[in-house]
Structures are given as structure tokens and as C-alpha cells.
Copies of this chain bind each other. A is one copy, B any other.
Amino acid sequence: MAKITLVIDAMGGDRGPSIAVAALIRALQSFPETDFIVTGDEPRLKALLARESKDTAVDLSRVRIQHTSQIVQMDDKPGQCIRQKTDSSMRAAIDLVADGTAQGCVSAGNTGALMAMAYMYLKTLPGVLRPALITPVPNQHGKQGFLLDIGANPVCDAETLFQFGVMGSVLARELNGIENPKVALLNMGTEEIKGPDVVKQAAMLLKQSSFVNYSGFVEGSELFTGEADVIVCDGFTGNIALKSCEGMAKMVYEHFQRNLKTHWLSRGLAWLLYKRQKKSWAWLNPDQYNGASLVGLRGVVVKSHGNASANAFYSAIAHAITETQLNLPARIHNQVEKVLSEQH
């Protein structure tokens, strides 16, 4: 494996830098070929690094702290961050990838600001219209698919959706080892006449391309069935789909929990059942799906959930390292160039 450098924006997220630093210490142990730069408040990060590494054998010389004085808040507006947060930990992370000091970065901060900064200062690959936020999605066969866009671009034209299909294919092939990944569009029905015009136009483009294995429309109910390896939609739709799933799961879980409180016997039965089934649910553990990638940029940018635990943040770091080692941006660039030459 080639030596790589990854930047960690340690000040993003709801839970402060201790989460990022704890995850980093674990990553230092698992990924000996990776060096790290941590952006944020230097005195605080120094103290945290010393504390978290105390009982480990990690070599802190592999970590460099880059001091920044500002923090992008979760409710900051992206435009304001571009203008005013020029010495923020997030901006420094993006700049370090843009100037080639690092090959990738991870942030748990404000998604809109991260997207805006990456678009503005790291820039999209030649030919790529818009970067997209892509997330792995578990499916019932224990395999993994991808859903994009999940929030970077609320409204997309057909050409942009088509490119999302191309970029999603590259990820499914490179990260999941699927030879000829099936690409579908998320729609309100599987018949060709269904849905908004922009989705139908994107279907035409995907069908015409010899570089995409287009399999048609899927519905929201097929997000987890493994029907497709890559599911494409605009960022508004992807956000609504994922958050609706979250709401559904939460409603059922909370009702179940509330019920259990009513009697010791229910509690006991549920506990026994949980013990028996625990292992088989590991594939659904949300921690391992933490880390949505911003694809289509001239470097690796991974967004951790704002509320991530250290374990989940570690998963996001691991994703970023894998993407960096595969040189995913270059592979996406190659594929997009081929597709563009087919079109013109």
C-alpha cells in the first residue's frame, strides 16, 4: 500500500473533538501506512491526543496538528461559511486536500458548508457537473448497495442524475467488487410512464449509455431488497427516503421499548431474544454505514454523521482511507471521460 495522508476535521459534529481524536487513535493502530493531519484548536487537540493515546503504543509523530481559530457551526449557512469561516478547521481540511498535502479528508461538520467548501476550493473533476453525497445501504442478502444523492443537490437535471449513475457504478465496482453493477433510478413506480419528466429523461440517458448497466426504476420499498447495486435520485428525494426510514425504525423501536417497561416478563423475554439474535443483526449496525462520500471531486471527502460515536467516526476514517488507497477520484475521472467521449 502506498503511503497516504488523511486530514481529520476534529472540530465538526455535535459531540466535539474528543470523538474524532478517539477514532483517530484507533485508526493509527489499524492503518500503519497512513499519516494524519488534524485541524482544529491546537492546545485542546494536543491534550486530547495525549489523553487518548496514553495506554496505547501509537506513534504520535504520524499525526500533525494544524491549528485553526474558527469552527463551522451546525446551523451556519454555507454561503456565510465560505465568506467568513476562512480559518475554520473544515476549510483547512479542504485546503490541505486541494493543495495536495493530503489525499482525503473526513469531517463530521455541517453538510451544506462541507459541500460548498469542497465544491468551491477542491473543485469537481473535469466534466463532472455536480458532486454527490453517496451512502452505502445494507440489503437483505447481507450485501451492500449505494444510494446517491442523499442531500448535496436538492434539485438535479437529467444529465446530473445520469452522471450520478456513472459515479455510483464506479463505487460499486471498486468498493464492492461488483463486475457490472446494476444502476436504477428511484421513482414512484416501476412502469416507464411513471414519475416526473426529469426522472424519465435521466432514464433515457442511462439506457443509451454503454458504460452503465441500467436496470430501470425502483420504488422506495426496494431500497433494501438488493434489486439494484446503485440507486440514483436527487438530493431532496434521497434525504426524504433515508430520513423516512429512520423515522419508521424509530417509531417501531420506541413503541417496543415503551411496551417493555410495562412488565418484567416482557423485559426478560425481549432480553433473551436479543441475546439469541444479537449476532445476526450486526450487518444492520448503523456505525459501520457511517461515512457518506462526496464523489465527483478532485480528492476524497467523507462526511461522518454529526452525532457519530467514536466507533462510527472510525468507520468514516476507514472508508476515506479505502477510497484514497484506491485513488477513487482518478477512477471516477477516467470513467466520466469515457462517457463524455461516447456522448460527443
Name A276's contact: one of B187, B224, B233, B266 (CB within 8 Å). B266
Of the candidates A195, A221, A235, the one having the most CB atoms from chain B within 10 angstroms of its own CB is A221
Indicate if the CB atoms of A196 and B248 lie closer than 8 Å. Answer: no
A251 touches B (CB below 8 Å): yes
A223 touches B (CB below 8 Å): yes
Indicate if the CB atoms of B270 and A196 lie closer than 8 Å. Answer: no
| Binary B-proximity of A269-289 (CB < 8 A = 1, otherwise 0) | 110110011001100100000
A209 touches B (CB below 8 Å): no
Task: Identify the stretch in A50-58, A161-169, A239-247, A335-343 within 8 Å (CB) of chain B at 4 or more residues.
Answer: A239-247
A11 touches B (CB below 8 Å): no
Q: Tell me if A's interface is mostly helix, strand, loop or mixed.
A: helix
Indicate if the CB atoms of B242 and A224 lie closer than 8 Å. Answer: no
Indicate if the CB atoms of A247 and B269 lie closer than 8 Å. Answer: no
Name A154's contact: one of B196, B220, B247, B270 (CB within 8 Å). B196
Indicate if the CB atoms of A236 and B237 lie closer than 8 Å. Answer: yes
The complex places the Cα of A30 from the Cα of B222 at a distance, in Å, of 38
Indicate if the CB atoms of B249 and A252 lie closer than 8 Å. Answer: yes
Indicate if the CB atoms of A273 and B276 lie closer than 8 Å. Answer: no
Q: Which residue of B lies closest to A254 (CB)?
A: B140
Q: Which residue of B lies closest to A235 (CB)?
A: B188
The complex places the Cα of A233 from the Cα of B244 at a distance, in Å, of 13
- The chain A residues found within 8 Å of chain B, CB to CB, are 75, 77, 138-140, 151, 154-155, 186-189, 191, 193-197, 219-225, 233, 235-237, 239-252, 254-256, 259, 263, 265-266, 269-270, 272-273, 276-277, 280-281, 284
